[in-house]
Each structure stands twice: as structure tokens, then as C-alpha cells.
């Protein structure tokens, strides 16, 4: 199925799906806080929203694999990449319909299940779309095409909030919690009705497009290549993960958690006035009461947070242990391991796990960091432009990384590698300005963008070299952020987004290289590892409660260190197999 010439017609149609994923994420940024208000969710229930989403990626990919192993038919290869994406979109449309009904009937459990079905559809789409991108041209430029999809995805995420805000509130201004709490039920139902229709519309566009090949591959799995050992290992890992997650979720319903909720309610009653604003001056008696409440909160929350930290850490060790066990066992005897007989894939699964984890963890913890005195003591509303710039940095990097996906002269590519990131940076600042944010504090961030441009010139779109250099630069950024404060540290943490931007595509390309007919199965395993986004951020969050928010970013340093190791080690490994994605890229 691999070709030297890029199929641009299919590529342009496929990128619409990537845009769609990003755009839908903008709808979720409104829908999830609306659900918290509408259903009156407590902390435990709000945790379930993210858990249902990330859990669906893992369980969806695992379900596909188990089905394929038991039936000896790779479902994605049987359907073909094209039909798999269409079916994934139809799944997501069904989930959107269930979410509408659940909100209308005021049933939170049904909303969770609807969100789970939406994410199951996304899991199937991603399992098919990433190897499909690689297959639409030369394997050496596969990472560039995935970057193109990622760049379009980030563009959808960037403009999505503005479009959704205009549709729901008639204004492009930033959406506040107060605006969301006053959002009418009819408008939310209308939003997700439109989302469901878009799912169906894109499915029709993709399904009836003559430009897009079926993408079918040999689907029958010979008895000698059945991956029963991998299936058993992953099912055991899943069982152990459930055993690790259960105590964490149960802890939110414990007597200690109920006491904490009551104490925090008492504290809020004491410190928040009738106008919902903090009381500036408390009486001596009120200050003493506040101190007593805060002491009691720390006394209860300390042991509780440590308990959660232990179980979440155990979950990560289960994933790492399971993959390393499979890798080691497959080295001794390849039979029964399927795609995991390839060390580049098993090591790539860990790389995707930590990559998604560090990407989400930095974005999730930035707001709390910026509230600290050393970082400006910003209010929640003031942190939004910084967090948005972190995610916007993904778009800047992915647009840059996609340039080589087009059949252009070397001179044109050199010019575009300089111009395109600056255009992307300008677009992001323009969207912020349109949304009513202050942007003057972000002007000097252009220095970080110029550093990334230099890195792109140095790496020349070589996947292993790019991943190694960007992993190293990401590690340096985290270390600078850990050892400094103020604007320098803020820019350092934001820059991690620039260097995360192309990692997904590089890891995918390196992990799937040389897998042949196991490529679709390998893609499913990689998508499964999006679970890192559900495990690593809470680990950093719990760690911050113990050692402080700034030191907790050491988690990111560890993740970037492994990604750098993966790039260097797997590049050498592939060369031993007679594969090199870092040789000079040929014209399409």
C-alpha cells in the first residue's frame, strides 16, 4: 500500500477529520463545565468526566485488538482505513445523541456513557487515521503528513472557542464560568445537535469521496502470528489498572472526603461575601476561625492525597511493567506477541504514554503555577491567555513540521519554515485579541518561536533527530522553569508546547516503521497509550500537594528524558533492521 508519490487528494480530505477533532474539543470546553453546574457534580463525579474520555481511548483500542485476536481478523484492516474512520464518526454521532438526551432528562450516568461513546469513536478514527496518513506517500515523510493533520487539528482547537462562543453567546469574548452557568438548556442541546450533524456530515464527505482509497490491507492473521500472549498481558494490565483506580475513586466518597467538602464549604462561607467576591478584611475572630479550618483541612487532606498518589503511581508502574515484560518476553520468543514482537513498537508505546501525559500535565497545572506569587499571583481569568498560548504553541510547531509534506522546491521550504511559524503565532495573537484578552505580555514569546524555527532548520525534518533534539529542548525548558521564576520561567514552560508539537508524529513514524502488516495493530496499541493523559497529570497534581506546584514539574523533566532516550535508541535499533527514516528525504 506504500507509495512514493503523495496522494494529495486523499490527504486534503483526511485532514478535515483532524480539524474536526480539534473543533469538537472546543465544544467540550463549554459542555463539561456546563455539566458540572447543571448536574451539581462533586469532585469525585467531575473526575469521572476525564476518566470516561481517556478510558474510552484505552478500552476502545483494547477491544479492537481482543476482537482481532479471537477472530483472527484485524477489524481495521478488514474494513480498511477509510471505512474505519467513517464508522468511528458514526459512533461519535451516536454518542453526541446520547449526550443530548441525558442532559435533557438530567441523567449524569447517561451523559458519561454518551461521552464514552464519542471518545470510542475518536479511538477508532485515530487508530485508522495515523497509519493512513503514513500510507498516503513515502514512509520517510509520514511524520510530516501526521504533523499536517496535527496542525489542522490545532487550528480547529484555536478557532473553535471563538466560533462556539459566537454561536452560544453572540460574542467572541472569552467565556466565563458565570456565562456558562446561565447558559440555557436549549442552546446546549442545539450545540450538540449541530455537533452530531457535523459528525454525520464529515462521515458522508469521507465515505463518498472518490479521492480517498479504501486503505484495505491483508486482514487475516495466520495462526502462527496470533498475539494471544499480548492479549493476555494487556487484559492482566487492565485488571490491575482497575484495581489501582478503584481505591482512588472510592476515596472521593470516603468519610474524609465528605469532611473536606464540609470544611471547604465552611471556609467559603466565611471568606466569600454576598456579592460572590472575597471579603477583603476579616475580623480577628474570623481570621482565627479561618486558620483553624485550614489546619483541619491540611490534617485530613495530607494522608488522603498521599493514599491517592500511591495508587495512581501503582497504575503507572502497572503500565510500564506490562509493556517492558512484553518487550523482554518477545525478545526470547516472538511467537504469540503480534506487533509487540517489534521492540520499536513496545518502546514507542511508552513514549506515547509519557508524551501525552507530559503534554496534558503541563497544560493542566499551568493555571495553578501562575497563581503563585513568584509567577505574578494571577487570577484564574488572567491565566487563560498563557494556557491558550501553550496549546497554541502546538499549532505553531505542527504547521512548521508539515511543510515537508508538500512537493515544493528546497528554497520554498526554507522560506516557509521561517514564515509559517510566524504567521501561526500572529493568528493565535489575533484570536486572543478578538476574544478580549490582553496580549502585550506575550509579544516577547516570539523569541521562543524563533528558537523553534532554528531547531527545525537544524533537524531538517528527520524524525529521530527531530525527536531527540526536541526532547532535549523540552527537558531544558522544564529545568529552566524549575530553577527560575517570573517571565523567564513562564516562557520556559510555555515553550514546552513548542517542542511537544511534533513529537506525536515522530513517535508514530518511528514506532510503526518496519511493522508491515502489523501496522494497523501497532497503531491501535499506540492509541491505547493515550491513557497517559489520564494518569500522569493527576500524579503531578497530587505531587504538587506534597512538594509544591513548581517542583512538581519534575514529572515533565522525567517524561522528556525518556522521549529523548527513545529517539536515540530506536534510531539505532531501526538501522540494525535496515531501516532509516533519517536519510535524506526524497521528492514526492
What's the CA gap between 136 and 81, in Å, rounded?
A: 11
Burial 364-402 (b: 16+ CB within 10 A, else e): bbbbbbbbeeebbebeeebbbbbbbbbbbbbbbbbbbbb
pLDDT at 317 over 90: yes
Question: pLDDT tens digit string along 297-309?
Answer: 888 888 888 888 8
* Burial class of residue 22 in the structure, from the number of CB atoms within 10 Å of its CB (0-12 exposed, 13-18 middle, 19+ buried): buried
The residue among 455 and 127 whose pLDDT is bigger is 455
Q: What is the structure's pLDDT at 25? A: 67
Task: Return mean pLDDT, the chain.
Answer: 83
Residue among 336, 329, 327, 66 at smallest CA distance from 223: 336
Question: Would you tell me how many other CB atoms lie within 10 Å of the CB of residue 63?
Answer: 16
Grid coordinates representing 232 are 493476555
Q: What is the structure's pLDDT at 117? A: 92
Residue among 408, 577, 514 at smallest CA distance from 131: 514
Question: pLDDT tens digit string along 183-193?
Answer: 777 877 887 88
pLDDT at 63 over 80: yes
Q: What is the structure's pLDDT at 546? A: 79
Asked if residues 495 and 477 have their Cβ atoms less than 8 Å apart, the reply is yes
Question: Would you tell me how many other CB atoms lie within 10 Å of the CB of residue 59?
Answer: 18
Question: pLDDT tens digit string along 87-115?
Answer: 999 999 999 899 889 878 888 888 888 88
pLDDT at 436 over 90: no
Mean pLDDT of 5-25: 80
Asked if residues 171 and 435 have their Cβ atoms less than 8 Å apart, the reply is no
Amino acid at each position: 500500500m506504500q507509495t512514493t508519490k503523495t496522494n494529495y487528494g486523499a490527504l486534503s480530505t483526511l485532514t478535515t477529520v483532524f480539524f474536526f477533532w480539534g473543533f469538537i474539543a472546543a465544544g467540550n470546553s463549554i459542555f463539561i463545565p456546563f455539566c458540572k453546574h447543571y448536574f451539581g457534580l462533586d469532585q469525585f463525579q467531575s473526575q469521572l468526566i476525564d476518566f470516561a474520555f481517556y478510558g474510552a481511548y484505552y478500552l476502545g483500542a483494547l477491544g479492537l485488538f481482543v476482537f482481532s485476536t479471537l477472530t483472527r481478523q484485524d477489524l481495521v484492516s478488514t474494513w480498511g482505513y477509510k471505512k474505519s474512520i467513517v464508522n468511528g464518526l458514526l459512533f461519535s454521532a451516536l454518542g453526541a445523541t446520547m449526550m443530548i438526551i441525558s442532559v435533557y432528562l438530567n441523567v449524569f450516568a447517561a451523559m458519561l456513557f454518551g461521552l464514552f461513546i464519542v471518545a470510542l469513536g475518536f479511538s477508532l478514527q485515530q487508530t485508522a487515521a495515523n497509519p493512513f496518513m503514513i500510507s498516503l506517500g513515502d514512509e520517510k515523510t509520514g511524520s510530516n503528513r501526521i504533523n499536517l493533520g496535527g496542525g489542522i487539528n490545532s487550528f480547529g482547537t484555536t478557532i473553535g472557542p471563538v466560533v462556539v462562543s459566537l454561536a452560544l453567546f453572540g460574542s467572541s469574548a472569552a467565556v466565563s464560568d458565570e456565562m456558562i452557568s446561565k447558559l440555557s438548556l436549549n442552546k446546549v442541546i442545539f450545540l450538540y445537535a449541530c455537533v452530531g450533524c457535523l459528525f454525520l456530515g464529515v462521515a458522508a464527505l469521507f465515505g463518498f469521496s472518490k479521492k480517498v482509497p479504501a486503505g484495505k490491507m491483508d486482514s487475516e492473521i495466520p495462526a502462527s502470528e496470533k498475539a494471544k500472549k499480548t492479549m493476555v498481558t494487556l487484559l492482566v494490565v487492565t485488571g490491575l489498572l482497575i484495581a489501582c483506580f478503584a481505591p482512588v475513586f472510592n476515596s472521593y466518597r470516603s468519610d474524609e472526603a465528605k469532611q473536606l467538602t464540609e470544611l471547604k464549604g465552611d471556609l467559603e462561607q466565611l471568606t466569600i461575601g454576598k456579592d460572590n467576591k472575597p471579603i477583603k478584611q476579616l475580623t480577628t475572630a474570623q481570621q482565627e476561625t479561618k486558620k483553624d479550618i485550614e489546619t483541619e483541612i491540611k490534617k485530613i487532606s495530607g494522608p488522603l492525597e498521599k493514599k491517592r498518589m500511591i495508587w495512581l503511581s501503582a497504575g503507572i508502574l502497572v503500565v510500564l511493567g506490562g509493556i517492558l515484560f512484553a518487550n523482554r518476553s518477545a525478545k526470547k520468543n516472538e511467537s504469540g506477541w503480534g506487533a509487540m514482537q517489534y521492540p520499536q513498537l513496545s518502546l514507542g508505546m511508552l513514549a506515547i504514554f509519557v508524551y501525552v501525559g507530559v503534554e496534558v500535565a503541563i497544560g493542566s497545572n499551568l493555571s495553578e503555577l501562575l497563581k503563585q506569587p513568584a509567577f505574578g499571583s494571577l487570577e484564574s481569568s488572567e491565566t487563560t491567555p498563557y494556557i491558550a498560548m501553550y496549546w497554541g504553541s502546538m499549532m505553531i510547531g505542527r504547521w512548521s513540521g508539515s511543510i515537508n509534506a508538500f512537493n515544493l522546491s528546497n528554497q520554498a521550504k526554507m522560506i516557509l519554515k521561517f514564515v509559517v511559524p510566524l504567521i501561526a503565532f500572529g493568528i493565535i495573537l489575533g484570536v486572543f485579541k478578538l476574544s478580549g484578552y490582553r496580549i502585550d505580555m506575550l509579544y516577547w514569546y516570539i523569541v521562543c518561536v524563533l528558537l523553534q524555527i532554528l531547531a527545525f532548520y537544524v533537524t531538517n525534518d528527520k524524525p529521530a533527530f527531530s525527536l531527540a533534539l526536541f526532547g532535549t529542548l523540552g527537558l531544558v525548558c522544564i529545568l529552566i522553569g524549575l530553577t527560575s521564576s517570573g517571565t523567564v520561567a513562564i516562557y520556559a514552560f510555555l515553550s514546552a508546547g513548542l517542542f511537544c508539537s511534533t513529537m506525536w508524529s515522530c513517535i508514530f513514524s518511528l514506532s510503526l516503521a518496519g511493522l508491515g502488516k502489523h501496522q494497523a495493530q501497532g497503531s491501535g496499541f499506540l492509541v491505547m497509550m493515550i491513557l497517559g493523559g489520564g494518569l500522569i497529570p493527576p500524579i503531578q497534581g497530587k505531587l504538587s500537594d506534597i512538594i509544591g506546584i513548581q517542583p512538581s514539574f519534575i514529572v515533565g523533566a522525567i517524561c522528556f528524558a525518556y522521549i529523548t532516550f527513545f529517539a536515540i535508541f530506536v534510531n539505532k535499533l531501526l538501522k540494525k533492521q535496515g531501516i532509516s527514516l533519517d536519510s535524506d528525504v526524497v521528492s514526492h
